[in-house]
């Protein structure tokens, strides 16, 4: 027989970790509220007949947030067979508040004392048997992060279901109990007996959702109000506070009887927080941490791995385990020296009037003829005028930049002409790259030219360009997972609350942004944790400003190709995202529909702990796999369409395959849109098309560059140095391009999430429109003002437009805010489309 178990608990109690351990699922684990924003279901690994539902982390069953609504509706409406209530044993008093409410639901309950490993480490003692006796339900010790006690928990829940015994109800003070009994009598005929206690308490608290369910008559409503008011008058407090106080008095007695805490000074977590959450040091420390994360991910370790992926896996190939790579590099360096000798002598000979055309023609050919070259070299040896020619080869030291010159005579030229480019297969164990293997396989099959072009110039060039950045992205995700699992990211939300609150946003708004660093879709969905509708909508509009994993390849490409792989570029992208959120918060809060104080931000900071390898790798893989799946689905389809649009068009008065890429359909689309982006500094059709395809999936920006600029033309030392891409951008225009693509409308999937969360077509269009306008304004100012400073531009119409945009933005930032009465405006925009 199938058994349904609900997993409930406070945020940060280890509930999702427990769910993953029980079911083998890979839900996202984070240290902030709202990670699970809807219920998730799985089956117990040891018995597939047992279904486990992971409810959102909640502090109570009062419907103040969407998470609490989801959890409560499931428990009341679908009524599982039993509830497994996870209690953070290291913060037992706060967690038992939810437990007291769950015990009133009329459903068997088993309490899991989680994080007992932390309690033991502190030296605290909890009398589990006595706690079980006082609560009247089974209590099991667990440590979800280590997989301890999880099996025993489910077995205890199974026994509770079989026994069918409902939890005993704790008693409130006599005056409250009397009122609850009167309310229970009023609803006896319309509710199940097992749930009457819970409904009575909620009616006493004037829970509006429960009130609406019963639809009392005017007389009944008056009678209910009289019962509640009598108690309020007697105790001189409001009904909800009365119940809350009574619960904590009951919990206090239990904790006093069952928990003995070791008297110590500041914990390790407290000592760390004393520094990392310091009012002065907190923000600089966070900035330093993020700089290190992006520096290592994009500039050092990530770049090394990405270069290997681009040059090796998606390039010519690589030496297995690096064996033979050093000798090959030495041989390659020597060949480059000989090539420099050859070119230096030829240049001098041509300038001296010696006929070297036979040699230069062969060297410029796609497949030089060795016999012709040998004959031409021999002919020069017989020419007396050639013997006196001496060229000059220049060599630059990469580390110091020092240039040295070396004289090249005819003998050195002859030696250089005989030099052969080293074959990597002759050094160590050489593994050919995917393009090389496919090229050989397709050549042997004798397939049609168009199919060969589709596979090599379309799919491999596009998808390969994106997948080459996977190592870099995985390194970033590992760092983020480490910061989240150790508990630091929860502190970041606390730190940012102090900053965001000054600009009209709650610290809760930063939580979706943190989640959005992996992917914008769950980031947008996490906005459900924000109670106030205006704050939630503003958070949805700004969440995707923070760079997600899909935008990292764009950042890495621009940093590598135009900024010599500078680490500050990647870090600045993150800073720009946060600043865009702050500036948007200030401006939007000045409008009536967003005006008002931000919602309060209450969050328990989990104790610092050593990240677990399983959680870190799971988090990294889940985020990374999502990126890889996009490459295998959306981006694959996109590259096929782009290949067709790039390969066909109107040439010589007829439609068909084009020889000149500037005549293709894609070029026509890009050229038509180019004037819109010309003031931003990147009006070439390739750059415009890359931006447009980025709205399908941000990874498409790099994939489109891979096709339109030619993946085959990647320089030997990495995909970052694309000669054609460098020719298309200046440093200022490249930074403008990066800013626009980071801040503009996100991918289609994220737009869909925005539509679902807004639940309104007008608000969705407004949100996407705002992102586009804001991104255009920032990119315009970056290029126009940056161009003036570097001398790239002179003062003109574009500069005037940028000055107007800057003036308008400053006005919106400093203007007097509208009154907080925005209800009418919200109602007008909230009408369903």
- Residues within the annotated binding site for Mg(2+)? 20, 23-24
d(CA 314, CA 5): 48
| Residue 232, both tokens | 């309020």
d(CA 490, CA 483): 9
Three-state DSSP state, 390: coil
Nearest of 98, 573, 17 to residue 298 by alpha carbon: 573
* Burial class of 314 by CB neighbour count within 10 A (0 to 12, 13 to 18, 19+): buried
Q: For residue 537, is it left (φ>0), alpha (ψ between -120 and 50) or beta?
A: alpha
Contacts of 385 (CB under 8 A, 6+ apart): 352, 353, 354
C-beta atoms surrounding 806 within 10 Å? 15
Q: Provide the pairing of β-strand 391-396 with 403-408.
A: antiparallel
Tell me the H-state helices in 590-651: 613-632, 634-647
Q: Provide the pairing of β-strand 125-126 with 259-260.
A: antiparallel
- Is residue 639 within 8 A of residue 630, CB to CB? The reply is no
DSSP class of residue 460 equals I
Contacts of 345 (CB under 8 A, 6+ apart): 389, 390, 391, 408, 409, 410, 412, 413, 416
| Residue 546, both tokens | 């923070």
- Is residue 516 within 8 A of residue 522, CB to CB? The reply is yes
Contacts of 622 (CB under 8 A, 6+ apart): 26, 28
- HEC letters along 244-273: HHHHHHHHHHHHHHHEECCCCCCCHHHHHH
Nearest of 552, 786, 314 to residue 560 by alpha carbon: 552
- Is residue 720 within 8 A of residue 557, CB to CB? The reply is yes
Tell me the H-state helices in 295-432: 301-308, 325-351, 357-364, 370-381, 384-387, 410-418
d(CA 642, CA 707): 8
Beta-bridged to residue 657, according to DSSP, are 648
d(CA 69, CA 190): 22
C-beta atoms surrounding 185 within 10 Å? 11
| Residue 395, both tokens | 């060599």
Three-state DSSP state, 714: strand
* Residue 88 CB-half CA count within 13 A: 23
* Residue 557 CB-half CA count within 13 A: 35
d(CA 58, CA 12): 10
Point out the annotated binding site: 9-16, 20, 23-24, 34-38, 54-57, 114-117
C-beta atoms surrounding 678 within 10 Å? 14
Residue that has been written with the tokens 């409308």 in this structure:
745
Point out the annotated binding site for GTP: 9-16, 34-38, 54-57, 114-117
- Is residue 204 within 8 A of residue 180, CB to CB? The reply is yes
What is the sign of the dihedral through the CA atoms of 433, 550, 749 and 702?
negative
C-beta atoms surrounding 313 within 10 Å? 18
- Is residue 640 within 8 A of residue 46, CB to CB? The reply is no
Nearest of 348, 334, 325, 327 to residue 419 by alpha carbon: 334
Three-state DSSP state, 3: strand
């Amino acid at each position: 027989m199938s058994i349904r178990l609900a997993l409930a608990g406070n945020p940060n109690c280890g509930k999702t970790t427990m769910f993953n351990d029980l079911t083998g699922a890979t839900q996202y684990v984070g240290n902030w509220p709202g990670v699970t924003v809807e219920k998730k279901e799985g089956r117990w690994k040891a018995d597939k007949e047992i279904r486990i539902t992971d409810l959102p982390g909640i502090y109570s069953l009062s419907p103040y947030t969407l998470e609490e609504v989801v959890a409560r509706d499931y428990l009341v409406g679908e009524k599982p067979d039993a509830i497994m209530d996870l209690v953070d044993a290291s913060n037992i008093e706060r967690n038992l508040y939810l437990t007291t409410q769950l015990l009133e639901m009329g459903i068997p309950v088993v309490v899991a004392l989680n994080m007992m490993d932390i309690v033991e480490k502190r030296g605290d003692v909890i009398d589990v048997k006595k706690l079980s006796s006082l609560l009247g339900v089974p209590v099991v010790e667990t440590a979800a992060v280590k997989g301890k006690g999880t099996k025993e928990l489910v077995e205890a829940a199974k026994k509770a279901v079989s026994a069918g015994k409902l939890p005993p109800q704790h008693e409130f003070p006599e005056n409250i109990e009397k009122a609850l009994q009167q309310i229970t009598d009023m609803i006896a005929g319309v509710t199940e007996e097992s749930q009457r206690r819970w409904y009575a308490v909620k009616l006493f608290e004037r829970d509006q959702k429960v009130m609406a369910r019963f639809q009392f008559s005017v007389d009944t409503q008056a009678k209910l109000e009289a019962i509640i008011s009598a108690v309020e008058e007697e105790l001189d407090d409001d009904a909800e506070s009365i119940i809350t106080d009574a619960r904590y008095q009951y919990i206090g007695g239990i904790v006093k009887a069952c928990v003995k805490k070791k008297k110590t000074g500041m914990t390790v977590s407290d000592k760390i927080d004393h520094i990392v959450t310091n009012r002065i040091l907190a923000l600089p420390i966070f900035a330093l941490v993020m700089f290190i994360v992006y520096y290592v991910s994009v500039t050092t370790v990530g770049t090394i791995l990405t270069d290997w992926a681009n040059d090796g896996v998606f390039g010519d190939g690589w030496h297995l385990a690096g064996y033979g790579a050093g000798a090959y590099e030495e041989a390659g360096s020597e060949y480059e020296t000989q090539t420099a000798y050859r070119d230096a002598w030829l240049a001098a000979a041509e300038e001296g009037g010696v006929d070297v055309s036979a040699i230069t023609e062969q060297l410029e050919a796609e497949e030089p003829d060795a016999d012709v070259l040998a004959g031409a070299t021999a002919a020069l040896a017989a020419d007396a005028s050639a013997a006196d020619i001496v060229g000059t080869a220049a060599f630059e030291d990469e580390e110091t930049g020092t240039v040295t010159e070396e004289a090249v005579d005819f003998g050195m030229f002859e030696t250089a002409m005989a030099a052969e480019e080293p074959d990597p297969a002759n050094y160590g164990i050489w593994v050919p790259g995917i393009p090389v293997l496919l090229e050989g396989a397709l050549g042997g099959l004798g397939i049609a030219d168009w199919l060969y072009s589709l596979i090599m110039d379309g799919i491999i060039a596009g998808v390969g360009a994106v997948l080459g950045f996977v190592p870099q992205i995985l390194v970033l995700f590992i760092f983020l997972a480490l910061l989240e699992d150790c508990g630091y990211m929860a502190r970041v939300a606390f730190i940012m609350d102090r900053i965001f609150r000054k600009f009209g946003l709650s610290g809760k708004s930063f939580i979706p942004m943190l989640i959005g660093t992996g992917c914008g879709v769950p980031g947008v969905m996490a906005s459900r944790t924000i109670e106030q509708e205006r704050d939630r909508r503003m958070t949805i509009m700004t969440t995707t400003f923070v760079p997600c994993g899909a935008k990292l390849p764009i950042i890495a490409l621009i940093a590598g190709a135009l900024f010599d792989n500078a680490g500050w570029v990647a870090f600045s992208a993150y800073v720009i995202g946060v600043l865009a959120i702050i500036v948007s918060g200030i401006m939007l809060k000045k409008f009536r529909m967003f005006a008002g104080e931000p919602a309060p931000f209450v969050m328990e900071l989990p104790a610092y702990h050593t990240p677990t390898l399983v959680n870190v790798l799971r988090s990294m893989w889940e985020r990374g796999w999502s990126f890889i799946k996009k490459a295998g689905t959306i981006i694959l389809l996109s590259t096929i369409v782009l290949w067709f649009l790039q390969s066909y068009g109107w040439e010589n008065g007829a439609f068909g395959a084009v020889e000149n890429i500037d005549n293709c359909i894609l070029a026509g689309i890009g050229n038509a849109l180019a004037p819109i982006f010309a003031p931003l500094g990147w009006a070439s059709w390739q750059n415009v098309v890359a931006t447009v395809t980025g709205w399908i999936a941000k990874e498409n920006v790099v994939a489109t560059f891979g096709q339109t600029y030619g993946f085959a033309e990647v320089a030997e030392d990495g995909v970052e140095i694309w000669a054609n891409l460098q020719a298309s951008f200046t440093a200022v225009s490249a930074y403008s391009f990066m800013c626009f693509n980071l801040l503009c409308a996100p991918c289609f999937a994220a737009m869909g999430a925005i539509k679902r969360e807004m639940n309104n077509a007008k608000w969705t269009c407004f949100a996407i429109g705002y992102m586009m306008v804001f991104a255009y304004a920032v990119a315009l100012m970056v290029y126009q003002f940056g161009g003036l400073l570097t001398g790239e531009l002179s003062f003109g119409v574009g500069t005037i437009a940028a000055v107007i945009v800057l003036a308008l933005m400053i006005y919106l930032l400093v203007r007097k805010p509208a009154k907080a009465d925005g209800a009418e405006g919200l109602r007008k925009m909230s009408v369903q489309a």
